[in-house]
Structure 1
């Protein structure tokens, strides 16, 4: 043990200091990056992990090179970050961009276009650019954390920075990455201990006080035990906080992080909304089929309408085997030669008509929508097909080439958004054309599909398995159905026999997600049911698309509105019928869904203005053999009565044992704390001579009580200050300090000449321990200075 760093010891000393810090940095940054990578903000976020790892290694290496100036290190780091980020995201780019230079040029062009859109007041929608920017931010987070801790000696700044990112992500994703957050919290606490020990080592080196080898490792081991005990005891404490109070507290604490997230969404509005993320990100360009989802009961909007409908948000046309993509905007951009999807949208003034072609058997219905929360994606919902909107609207639709002239095709509308932010409490009215098609008419609609329908809504990737085709063909052959309507009804009935379950694992990598759902998992939620039906229909040449939005909601009879909550966020298939347009089907047998109601044949003489009766709760799942040859069945089950969970009756004596258990736990924790502190104190002074052990033990206990030795003070000056604080122990302190000074500066002495007895040292330790608990308000040295004013300090 020594405080002097000789040349042969420098490497060992450097490793002793750097390795624990590097490990703690890895433990702190890794859960934050891991939570971002699984947050489902966008496809391809798995590149964040290697990005952060290299950034952390570079930060550690540069920080421990004192010869490397800060500006040079940061310049090299930025160059490495750009190079590594482009390399990692290259698989997400066009295959024709084969060289690094081509890929970098493409990103530069995308950045310029994105900046122009943002500067013009628009919202960014380049998901590749979002992944690239997130890679750079993750690099800055990991590299910056390593630099601040290992070069600057800062601790709180990197902890707060990582915590801020973790909390922004935590307020957004579901299910919550709780384990990752607790790992980050433990690493942050240990990093504080690590930095404190390094500061104390520097002080002891300056004071030429010996301390044991591997002090950082020993302190961190003790701290890790204490942090673990703290977490275990916290988890065992009884929770009596009401859900309402906990929700209010969380809303207050997470408010600034939600604000930061909303600002981020303005820059990249097409990032995915993980399930339960609220009223945001329905405008995303792709929607992955993932694992479990969890939705809240928060009210999203109220709809006043004479017709029950599903409220469509976004329609997706392309299936990739793992997600759905909305390519309508990109096709419109290419047709017009626009710079972005957003610029290719058509602006419609308030109440301006939207010309539609497929209007057979449709009736006009006004739908007044009142938002309960801010609509972060500014999406306009509609039941049916919109013919006008009461506010200014941007419509993302495709185009038809008629005789060399581009004509807007509003029958292929993917979404509608407001150019202004839609706020809570705001209302708008959509005049919609709602389908009233009957079964006979849809059966007779035929299969003479327009070219734009055949080109885009029969697409299937190579990932669709052979057994999926075989299942689709077998069901049709066994049922003997021929018309597209009957085929759709057949698949709808078959899928409703599968189990609805929101808590499913994520599909395995590389598997076609519809195949996994149909043959392996055999249960899932609406995303999988709708995807399976669209894929099955397309195998039979029946055009269909995948739609996401909200199911109809709960009807409030007193107010005459549908209450649409977040937990009815839904996806469903829409099938195209020539002349009639897109018709909704419902393969998901969930409590919040409803089968569409269609009469057997066309009806005459009905009053279209007469309000329809809101539908009853949906029927349970049926066997697919029960395919109706006429009217789709809909039977109203008995009313469901929701009763609160009964509170458990406490067992006899529970009220007595609970406080006893808490008191016993606290006493046990205090006893364990005393054992750990005493054990560490004895451990730190082991191997020292009796004189040096006496001085080191006294100084260690005194520092815990707020009486640290100043860098400029000698042992005799420090002893005088301690004696002034503890006058009853003056004689014992002076004898320990005198013996230490003689041995430290005058050479080793025989035995422990001049040391007080063990009983006197125990009395001093007891006094110092009482000082740790009952620390006075006055800073160390002030009281002694007042008492010893005018007395010159004695120097060694």
Structure 2
């Protein structure tokens, strides 16, 4: 492998490292590019050595661990000496490993940086080993490609450029490596080939690569494989374990309230980044009842997130009535879901579903002959383009009815009052302080909702709760900012703290209404979490504590008209003894990330007429090349023709009366530094024309490289500058004539 393929391989591995650094999972990842360079150099040297594979791999393991350990230790405070750094780092890693063994979340940035250092080390080392020792370019690009793809998928959308760049450079690398192997094979078997072979090889190879990437971009998306659901479930378990190992990392698409996960768990973690991809479209009637498209509800608060503890699945046929609990003041809402990016078997439904068009497993709890659904799963995986119809019962209860609902709760509702035993007392005190002036659950729920909307700043870029801290307590008293998961969690916890049964619900907001289609278009960024509070006789009623969402509007029979649920009153008093930072000192909410997006193929329609012209131009250039240097020429004749053209460009035309040796004398006077190879060419040309034995092919191959078109043009330019003096030196005629 020459310097060119090596530099290209280095670029590939640095692309993978830069992708991890740009994701900004945590601080300290800037050490990865340096580790990558060292790993590739070590791998290159070991691959060229005569060491057996086991010895080379053991050496790489030892050196890689030492370099990764050293690089990670640079992140520790400068006040520590080197011995103290290594001891401190060893203690941190040991503490993290103990947490892994005990199933506890102890992961900090140091452990993650060390793991990533080891990962990029082995990725770069294996790439060099596979490319040089195994001569397999395809295997060499796989480790870095996997790293790049995983980081780009789970990282922010701005990383989309990295897998594109990696794919393009990978194909160029494989193409280059393959050509070098072909050159070696031709030389070994003494096969002559055109000096333009490399140019043709890379030109057509590059054209094929560009066409392949363009086709991959323009082609419609692949349909999901419906037979690998168990793989998805296994991967989701891996994701959850990963989050436990490294809870302090930023989160983008790992199981949070973003697309790709509405399941049995909901984590209260770090930052989120939701994209603009369309996931579904919905038709619903009557329109005024549309609020949310529910995916799942959660009943158990762990202090760090939420669980759905329902373990019973009830199978219902298509359009079979669901025996849910009956409540007053409900109105039917019919929905038709057009699934563009379905989530396996998940079915969405507003409020309380009563009829479904699909055979469905309903995850629920029950009492007697009635059930309380919390998750809907189709009996078969749903394909993209599937249509699901649902009829739901939506609450239209007015404010006066809810105020008079009372507190006569059924027995099965008790689990919606659950709270952790170690919930900080100040959370309960704050809930009591907020609701102390009200005498009914509805007004108390409104007060909690109002407090959160008016006193907490919305911000999607908040850090995850520290280890050992209750997430709601951290949100209310330290962060004082967050996104919908935190708002909804805080309201549910505080409502339960004052004896009001409540649960957290996840799904999507209504989305953008398309009047021309009569549908709501729901995007990834519409993913949301909200609150449902239970009222006797009226069931679950929705509340919206997130400040950036519009308040829910309910009818007031007293006023005879609808009014917003959240009247603008002054913020409530904070309990004594609770320190709250001043609003002026709160960090401003981070702006949404600028997503990288490829231009739409529609923008390039106007360029399609140019494609035939470009193809014709490439064919024309090929015809000209064949005319200038016909492929039927034998190697020595082709080299001699090249000398004739060089002389013509220099102003020395071969006269018909000149022999090849006489013309050689004229040419060597202008290019004395090339006299030796020029003489070899002429001698081989004469041998090829007049001797029964052909010239030595190996020597001819060497002359092909020594007298390539690029070398000859460089000699000409070095002697005359640019070719402007040709006319002054031109003798008679206007082109070379081949000697006969």
Partner residue in 1 for 2:430: 471
Match of 1:622 among 568, 575, 595: 568
**What TM-score do the two structures reach when normalised by structure 1?**
0.51
Residues of 1 paired with 2:450 and 2:408: CA distance?
25
- DSSP 3-state at the match of 1:490: helix
Match of 1:514 among 454, 460, 472: 472
Partner residue in 2 for 1:369: 336
- Are 2:517 and 1:530 aligned? no
Q: CA deviation at 1:490?
A: 0.8
Which ranges of structure 1 fall in alignment gaps of 5 or more residues? 1-15, 40-47, 78-86, 97-133, 207-248, 333-343, 401-406, 604-612, 628-705, 707-712, 741-759, 772-783, 790-796
Residues of 2 paired with 1:170 and 1:353: CA distance?
44
Q: CA deviation at 1:485?
A: 2.4
Q: Report 1:339-418 matches (<5 A).
A: 345-357=313-325, 359-371=326-338, 373-398=340-365, 410-411=371-372, 413-418=373-378
Q: CA deviation at 1:318?
A: 3.3
Judged with a 3 Å threshold, the aligned counterparts in structure 2 of structure 1 residues 724 and 185 are, in CA distance, closer, same or farther, namely same
Judged with a 3 Å threshold, the aligned counterparts in structure 2 of structure 1 residues 194 and 564 are, in CA distance, closer, same or farther, namely closer
Match of 1:274 among 244, 253, 274: 253
Residues of 1 paired with 2:221 and 2:144: CA distance?
13
1:438-479 C-alpha deviation (Å, 9 max, x unpaired): 4444445444555554346523374x55543443233234xx
Match of 2:307 among 309, 325, 328: 325
Residues of 2 paired with 1:419 and 1:566: CA distance?
24
Contact 2:19 2:159 in 1 (8 A): no
Residues of 1 paired with 2:464 and 2:328: CA distance?
41
Contact 1:388 1:431 in 2 (8 A): yes
Residues of 2 paired with 1:261 and 1:170: CA distance?
21
Residues of 2 paired with 1:763 and 1:549: CA distance?
71
Q: CA deviation at 1:89?
A: 9.5
Q: CA RMSD in A?
A: 6.2
1:475-527 C-alpha deviation (Å, 9 max, x unpaired): 234xx224332221111011111466455343364354434433444334322
Contact 1:285 1:327 in 2 (8 A): no
Partner residue in 2 for 1:642: none
- Are 2:9 and 1:30 aligned? no
Contact 1:534 1:546 in 2 (8 A): yes
Residues of 2 paired with 1:285 and 1:768: CA distance?
76
Judged with a 3 Å threshold, the aligned counterparts in structure 2 of structure 1 residues 21 and 623 are, in CA distance, closer, same or farther, namely same
Residues of 2 paired with 1:93 and 1:29: CA distance?
30
Judged with a 3 Å threshold, the aligned counterparts in structure 2 of structure 1 residues 175 and 533 are, in CA distance, closer, same or farther, namely farther
Residues of 1 paired with 2:513 and 2:176: CA distance?
59
Residues of 1 paired with 2:717 and 2:98: CA distance?
65
Match of 2:394 among 434, 438, 445: 434
Judged with a 3 Å threshold, the aligned counterparts in structure 2 of structure 1 residues 297 and 187 are, in CA distance, closer, same or farther, namely closer
Partner residue in 1 for 2:552: 595
1:539-581 C-alpha deviation (Å, 9 max, x unpaired): 3343322111122345567876555454433210112334543
1:691-743 C-alpha deviation (Å, 9 max, x unpaired): xxxxxxxxxxxxxxx9xxxxxx9xx9999897577456952344466999xxx
Contact 2:544 2:552 in 1 (8 A): yes
Residues of 2 paired with 1:194 and 1:349: CA distance?
59
Residues of 1 paired with 2:416 and 2:502: CA distance?
9
Residues of 2 paired with 1:21 and 1:590: CA distance?
47
Which ranges of structure 2 fall in alignment gaps of 5 or more residues? 27-31, 62-94, 105-115, 189-212, 240-251, 574-628, 630-634, 649-663, 681-711, 724-735
Residues of 2 paired with 1:761 and 1:383: CA distance?
74
Q: CA deviation at 1:313?
A: 0.9
Contact 1:316 1:547 in 2 (8 A): yes
Match of 1:458 among 414, 418, 433: 418
- DSSP 3-state at the match of 1:531: helix
Judged with a 3 Å threshold, the aligned counterparts in structure 2 of structure 1 residues 579 and 138 are, in CA distance, closer, same or farther, namely farther
Q: CA deviation at 1:29?
A: 3.4
Residues of 2 paired with 1:577 and 1:372: CA distance?
33
Contact 2:272 2:461 in 1 (8 A): yes
- DSSP 3-state at the match of 1:152: coil
Residues of 1 paired with 2:126 and 2:552: CA distance?
55
Residues of 2 paired with 1:531 and 1:768: CA distance?
79
Residues of 2 paired with 1:435 and 1:56: CA distance?
63
- DSSP 3-state at the match of 2:393: strand
Residues of 2 paired with 1:434 and 1:721: CA distance?
87
Judged with a 3 Å threshold, the aligned counterparts in structure 2 of structure 1 residues 23 and 171 are, in CA distance, closer, same or farther, namely closer
Residues of 2 paired with 1:599 and 1:761: CA distance?
89
Aligned residues: 527
Judged with a 3 Å threshold, the aligned counterparts in structure 2 of structure 1 residues 62 and 167 are, in CA distance, closer, same or farther, namely same
- DSSP 3-state at the match of 1:496: helix
Judged with a 3 Å threshold, the aligned counterparts in structure 2 of structure 1 residues 455 and 761 are, in CA distance, closer, same or farther, namely closer
Q: CA deviation at 1:349?
A: 0.4
- DSSP 3-state at the match of 2:554: coil
Q: CA deviation at 1:268?
A: 0.9
Judged with a 3 Å threshold, the aligned counterparts in structure 2 of structure 1 residues 508 and 595 are, in CA distance, closer, same or farther, namely same
Partner residue in 2 for 1:81: none
- Are 2:204 and 1:253 aligned? no
1:602-629 C-alpha deviation (Å, 9 max, x unpaired): 99xxxxxxxxx9x99x7888336599xx
Residues of 1 paired with 2:413 and 2:329: CA distance?
20
Contact 1:311 1:382 in 2 (8 A): yes
Residues of 2 paired with 1:457 and 1:146: CA distance?
59
Contact 1:529 1:587 in 2 (8 A): yes
Q: Report 1:5-44 matches (<5 A).
A: 27-32=14-19, 38=25
Partner residue in 1 for 2:687: none
1:623-661 C-alpha deviation (Å, 9 max, x unpaired): 36599xxxxxxxxxxxxxxxxxxxxxxxxxxxxxxxxxx
Contact 2:304 2:470 in 1 (8 A): yes
Contact 2:397 2:554 in 1 (8 A): no
Contact 2:23 2:155 in 1 (8 A): no
Q: CA deviation at 1:324?
A: 3.1
Judged with a 3 Å threshold, the aligned counterparts in structure 2 of structure 1 residues 268 and 575 are, in CA distance, closer, same or farther, namely same
Residues of 2 paired with 1:536 and 1:250: CA distance?
54
- DSSP 3-state at the match of 1:397: strand
Residues of 2 paired with 1:321 and 1:17: CA distance?
55
Residues of 1 paired with 2:297 and 2:421: CA distance?
18
Q: CA deviation at 1:537?
A: 1.9
Judged with a 3 Å threshold, the aligned counterparts in structure 2 of structure 1 residues 766 and 719 are, in CA distance, closer, same or farther, namely farther
Residues of 2 paired with 1:427 and 1:587: CA distance?
32
Contact 2:5 2:177 in 1 (8 A): no
Partner residue in 1 for 2:263: 283
Partner residue in 2 for 1:152: 134
Contact 2:265 2:305 in 1 (8 A): no
Judged with a 3 Å threshold, the aligned counterparts in structure 2 of structure 1 residues 736 and 443 are, in CA distance, closer, same or farther, namely same
Partner residue in 2 for 1:176: 158
Partner residue in 2 for 1:546: 504
Residues of 2 paired with 1:191 and 1:621: CA distance?
64
Partner residue in 2 for 1:315: 297
- Are 2:441 and 1:484 aligned? yes
- DSSP 3-state at the match of 1:177: helix
Partner residue in 1 for 2:284: 304
Residues of 1 paired with 2:41 and 2:713: CA distance?
48
